[in-house]
Structure 1
Amino acid sequence: MNNLTVAKFGGTSVANFESMSLCANIVIGDENIRVVAVSAQSGVTNKLVRLSQAGVEQVERDQLLNEIRDIEYSILTDLGSPESIKVALDNLLNELKETANKPELAQSMPLKDHIVSFGEQMSSLLFAEVLRQRQCHAINFDIRQVLKTDSHFGKAEPQVELIRTQAQNLITPDLEKSVVVTQGFIGSDNQGNTTTLGRGGSDYSAALIAEAVDAQVLQIWTDVTGIYTTDPRLTDAARPIAEISFDEAAEAATFGAKILHPATLIPAIRAGTKVFVGSSKAPEAGGTWIVNKSESRPSYRAIALRKDQVLVTVKSPKMLHATGFLAKVFGILADHKISIDLITTSEISVALTLDNPPNATKFGGLPQEAIDELQAFCEVTIEDNLSLVAVIGNHLESGSAVGGKLFNALEKFNLRMICQGASPHNLCFLTPTDKANDVVAQLHSELFD
C-alpha cells in the first residue's frame, strides 16, 4: 500500500445512522483507507462523564443510561438489528450499567476512564457493521490491545515504541484484506486498565495509530470544511485555508482553533505523515492539507481565540537582581502539574496564563495549596474573564511592520500581556472576554480583507 491512510471520524460525523452512512461512503470510496478510528456519538461522552461523577442520584443515573441506550439503539434499529451486533451492544450496555452503579466509582480513576470508554466501544461496533452491510470487509478491533499508555488516568501518556510494536503485530497483518475499525481516545496501561488520552484525544490517538502503522496520510473528518482563517462563527469573512504548515497548524491548535487536538500533530511531525482536515458532511468541498512545508508562507495565516483564561501575576521586590526566583515559582507550578501558556516577566514580577474551562476547578485548576506556597514568598494576583487571541503566521518576530499593522487595528481595545518573539509563528495577547469576539472580527478585517 503506497498511500496507506488512517481516517478518523469525530462525534458529529458518527452521530446517527445517516451520518455514519456518509462516513462509510468516504471509506468505501478510498481504497487507501485501511484503518478507521471513531469517536463516541455526539453527546454520549458528556453523559458518560456525568455518570462517572460523584453525587449523581440513582434517578439521574438511570436517565443517563437510558438516554445513551436510546442513541445507540437508534443506529442499531436502522441497521436492521442484526442479532450478533445486538448481543454485543447489549453486553456493552449491561457492563456500562454495572460499572456505573459500583459504589467505588466516584473515588476510582480507573473506573472513571473505563466508564468514559464505552462511547467509543459502542461507536466502533456499530460503524464496522455499517461498513459490512455495504460489502466492505471490516473488523471491529479493540485499540486497547495496541495503544499502551502510562497510568495517568484521564490524561494518559502514550508509550510510543510499545504502541508501534503492538500495531505492527496486531493491526498491520489485517490491512491487506480488511478495514480495521477501532476507537479513538482510549488505551490501556500495563496492568490492563482502560485509560483515556483526555478530551479531544481521538485525534491524537488516530495520529499515534497512523505513526505506528507507517501511514502516509491521516484524515481528520469533522463537521467543518477544513481550517479557516478564524472561527466562522466570529465573522462571515472567515475563509478556508487550502494548505498550512505543521508549525502554523500546531500554533493554531495550541491557541484555541478547535479543529484539531493540540497534540495531534506531534506524531504526524515525527513520522512525516500528511494530515487532511475535511467535512464528512461535504467531502466534495475539499479541506485543508497540513504539510511539513507549505508552498505559501504569508505573514498572517489565521487568528485563534481561546476563551476562559486566567491571568496569574506573582510579584516580589526580592526578585530584583535575585537568582532562583523563577525556578522557585515554576517549581511549585510543576509540582502541582499546572500547564502554562503565556509568560511575561519584568524586574520584580512574572505574569502567566492558565486555561480555566467551565468544568475546571477555580482559578484554572490552580489549587489553593499552590497559591499558599507562592504567597509564602511573593504577592499573588489572579484575574479571570479574559480571552487569549493568537495571530498565526510566519516571520511574526520580524518587527514593527508586522506589529504596527496589528496594533493599529486594535487601538480602541484594551490589550493585556502581549507576547511576541518567542516563536516566528505567533503573536498573542489577552483581552476581556466580553470584547474578544469584536477583537477577532476587527483584526480579521484588517489582516485578511
Structure 2
Amino acid sequence: MTKIQIYKFGGASVKDSLAVNNLAEILRNRLRKDLIIVVSAMGKTTNELEEILSKKLQGEDFSWNSANLKNFHHAICQELFPAAHPIFYQLDNLFTQLDNALEKPLSRLNYDEYYDRIVGFGELVSSRIVAEFLCHQELIVLWKDAREVIHTDSYFRFAKIDWEKTKKSAQKIWKPLLAGFPILTQGFIGSDSKGKPTTLGREGSDFTAAILATSLDASSVTIWKDVPGVLNADPKLFPNTRKFEELGYQEAAEMTYFGASVIHPKTIKPLANAKIPLYVKSFLDPEAAGTKIHENAPAHQVPTIVLKKDQVLVSFKVTDFTFIEEKHIHRVYEQLQELKLRVNMLQLSAISISIVIDVQLFKLEQLLEKLKSEFEIRYNEGLELLTILHHKQDEVGAYLEGYEVLLEQASRNTFQVVRRKM
C-alpha cells in the first residue's frame, strides 16, 4: 500500500503568480494519490492582516489596507486565470466574509479570539487560489478545510492540539479521499470544540504538516523553502553559511527552540515520536537533495547562529530588600502564561529576574500593569537576541563589534547575548 506523503509550501513559495506557477511545476511530476499539500498565506498577507487588526484596535481607519490586500490577491489571479474563471467570484465571497467579520467589535479582552477569526483568512484565500490553479493546469486536487480535521482547545492564537480527536477525524474523513485524489489544505488554522476558528502560532503551517503526518501515519514530510535546506545561519544576515545534509531530531529541535526560522518549533516532536523523516528542500532548486531530518543522523559541532529581532528585555527587581525566591519567579511566569508571552531568554540575579520576549501588540503594557505593585520594572525595546550553538569562544567577539551588550550568558554548548546597535 502506498504511504501518504505531506508537502508544505510556505508564504514565499506562493507570494506571486510566478511562484504559484513554480509550485505547479514542482507538483507536475510529483502529484499523486496519497499526497496532502499544505499551503500558507501568500507573501506577507498575515502581516497585513495583523496591521488591519492593530488599526482597528486603535480606532484607526483600515479600509485602505483591506482594499489593498484584496487587490493584491486579485492581481495574482488576473495573471493566473482567464477573466471568467470562478476564482474571482470565490475571491469576492471570501473578502466579503472578511469585511463582515471586521465589522464586529474588537477590544483587548477579545483580541486573541478575534485574531484567530481574522488572520486565518490568509490561508483560506491562498489555498483556494492554488487549488483552482492546479486544477486549471489539469493537476486535479481536492480543496479541503483544515478546520474539519485539526481539532484544538480554545487557547486562541496558540491553540493546543486534541491529538486523539484530530487523528480520528483525519483517518475517518480524509484518508478515504486520498485513495482517489491528492488533498490541498491550509496550514496554521484549526477549530475548537465549538467550531470557532483557532490558530497554532505564527508560522504554524509546518506544525500542521506534522500533525497531519502523525495522524495519517505518513511516510514523510517535505517543507519547501527558499533556501537549499537547513543552514547553520540565515544567509540573508550572515555570510558563508553551511548546509546540513542530515540532522538528528534533537539537534533540529534545539535549533528551532532558540528561534531558527526554517522550521516551526513544534514541528519536530510529533515527527520524532512517530519516526517520520522531515525533508527541507528548495522550491528554487527542487531536484537538489536538501536536508533530511531523521533519527539516525550523525551529530554536528558546526557553530549554528540564530538571530531574533524585535526583542524586549524586561527586568523585575524586588522592592523589599529580599532576595529572589521561587515565589517571585512563579508570579512572573504566571502572568507571562496568562498573556501568552514566551520567554526566549531568562537570567536571575540575587535581586532581579530578567527575561527576553518577542514584541506583541499591547501585551508588554499589560504585563507591566499586572506586576508593577510587586516589582520595580525596567525594560528596553528594539533589541536583538543572538544565540550561537556549539560556539567557539575565540569567534564570539566578532558578533559583538558595533553593538552594546545588555545581557549575556553562556553554557558549554550555547552562547546568548542581547544586543543593540551602538
State the TM-score, normalized to the length of structure 1. Answer: 0.82
Rounded Cα–Cα distance in structure 2 between residues aligned with 1:232 and 1:166: 40
* Cα distance in structure 1, aligned partners of 2:200 and 2:193: 15
* 1:416–1:429 Cα contact (<8 Å) kept: no
**Aligned ranges 1:298-317 → 2 under 5 Å:** 298-316=300-318, 317=321
- The reply on whether 1:13 has 2:13 as its aligned counterpart is yes
1:72 Cα deviation (Å)? 2.4
Shift of 1:38: 0.6
1:120 is matched with 123
The aligned amino acid for 1:374 is: E
Change (3 A) 1:408 1:41: closer
- How far 1:415 moved relative to its partner? 5.2
Question: 2-side partners of 1:326 and 1:57: how far apart?
Answer: 38
User: Is 2:402 the counterpart of 1:434?
Assistant: no
The reply on whether 1:344 has 2:347 as its aligned counterpart is yes
Task: Please tell me whether residue 94 in structure 1 is matched to residue 96 in structure 2.
Answer: yes
Conservation of the 8 A alpha-carbon contact between 1:137 and 1:177: no
Q: Is the alpha carbon distance of 1:336 and 1:13 closer, same or farther for their aligned partners in structure 2, counting shifts above 3 Å?
A: closer
Give the whole-Å Cα distance in 1 for the aligned partners of 2:148 and 2:293: 29
The gaps in structure 2 that reach 5 residues or longer are none
One-letter code of the match for 2:372? D
- Is the 8 Å Cα contact of residues 226 and 288 (structure 1) preserved in structure 2? yes
Distance in 2, Cα, partners of 1:180 & 1:46: 27
The Cα offsets for residues 347-370 of structure 1, whole Å up to 9 and x where unpaired, read as x2344322233x54375x661233
SS at match of 1:342: strand
**1:233 maps to amino acid:** K
Question: Is 1:243–2:243 an aligned residue pair?
Answer: no
Matched, 1:159 2:179: no
Q: Which letter does structure 2 place at the counterpart of 1:242?
A: E
Looking at structure 2, the residues matched to 97 and 76 of structure 1 have their Cα atoms a distance apart, in angstroms, of 20
Give 1:329 deviation, angstroms: 4.6
Q: Is the 8 A contact 1:106 1:112 kept in 2?
A: no
Residue matched to 1:382: 379
Given residue 187 of structure 1, which amino acid in structure 2 is its aligned partner? Answer: G
Match of 1:224 in 2: 227
Name the SS of the counterpart of 1:367 in structure 2: helix
Determine the C-alpha separation between the residues in 2 that align with 1:67 and 1:325. Answer: 47
Structure 2 CA distance for partners of 1:427 and 1:136, relative to 1, 3 Å? same
Q: Is the 8 A contact 1:184 1:206 kept in 2?
A: yes
Query: Structure 1 CA distance, aligned partners of 2:225 and 2:406?
Result: 33
Bigger shift: residues 265-274 or 137-146: 265-274
* Matched AA of 1:309: Q
| Secondary structure of the structure 2 residue equivalent to 1:251 | helix
1:287 aligns with 2:274: no
Deviations 1:229-279 (A, max 9, x none): 211123321122222222222222222322122222222222222111122
Q: Secondary structure at the match of 2:117?
A: helix
What residue is the counterpart of 1:399 in the other structure? none
Q: For the residues of structure 2 that align with 1:304 and 1:278, how far apart are their CA atoms?
A: 20
> Which structure 2 residues correspond to residues 40-79 of structure 1 after superposition, within 5 A?
40-52=41-53, 53-55=56-58, 57-58=60-61, 60-61=62-63, 63-77=64-78, 78-79=80-81
* 1:124–1:183 CA contact under 8 A, matched in 2: yes
Q: Render the CA deviation track for 1:97-138: whole Å, top value 9, x for unaligned.
A: 2222x1424565444322222221111112112222333231
1:230 & 1:161 partners in 2: Cα distance?
36
For the residue of structure 2 that corresponds to 1:40, the secondary structure is: coil
**Is 1:212 paired with 2:209?**
no
RMSD: 2.9
| Whole-angstrom CA distance in 1 between matches of 2:397 and 2:77 | 57
Runs of 5+ unmatched residues, structure 1: 394-401, 436-449
CA deviations on 1:348-404 (whole Å, 9 max, x unpaired) are 2344322233x54375x66123331431xxx544344542222224xxxxxxxx764
Distance 1:420 1:293 in 2: 28
Count residues with an aligned counterpart. 413
For 1:295-444, what aligned pairs fall within 5 Å after superposition? Answer: 295=298, 297-316=299-318, 317-319=321-323, 324-346=327-349, 348-357=350-359, 359-361=360-362, 363=364, 367-375=367-375, 379-393=376-390, 404-406=393-395, 417-421=407-411, 426-434=413-421
What is the alpha-carbon distance in structure 2 between the residues aligned to residue 56 and residue 149 of structure 1? 31
Shift of 1:203: 1.5
8 Å Cα contact 2:341/2:357 also seen in 1: no
Distance 2:267 2:406 in 1: 29
Q: Is the 8 A contact 1:255 1:388 kept in 2?
A: no
Flag the 1:345–1:38 CA change in 2: closer, same or farther, 3 A: same
Q: 1:367 to 1:262 in 2, by over 3 A?
A: same
The one-letter amino acid of 2:81's match is L
Give the counterpart letter for 1:95 in structure 2: Q
Instruction: Give distance in 2, aligned partners of 1:260 and 1:300.
Output: 18
Give the partner amino acid of 1:223: D
Which of 242, 257, 268 is residue 271 of structure 2 equivalent to? Answer: 268
Deviation at 1:323, TM superposition (A): 6.6
Cα deviation per residue 1:22-64 (whole Å; 9 max; x = unaligned)? 1122223225661011111112222222333324555x41x23
Contact 1:12–1:223, Cα closer than 8 Å, also in 2: yes
1:64 is aligned with what amino acid?
N
Say if 1:99 and 1:105, in contact at 8 Å, map to a contact too: no
| Contact 2:368 2:377 (C-alpha < 8 Å) held by counterparts | no
Task: Name the counterpart of 1:36.
Answer: 37
1:183 Cα deviation after fit: 0.6
Give the Å deviation of 1:335: 4.9
Alignment-derived partner of residue 24 in structure 1: 24
> What amino acid sits opposite 2:301 in the alignment?
S
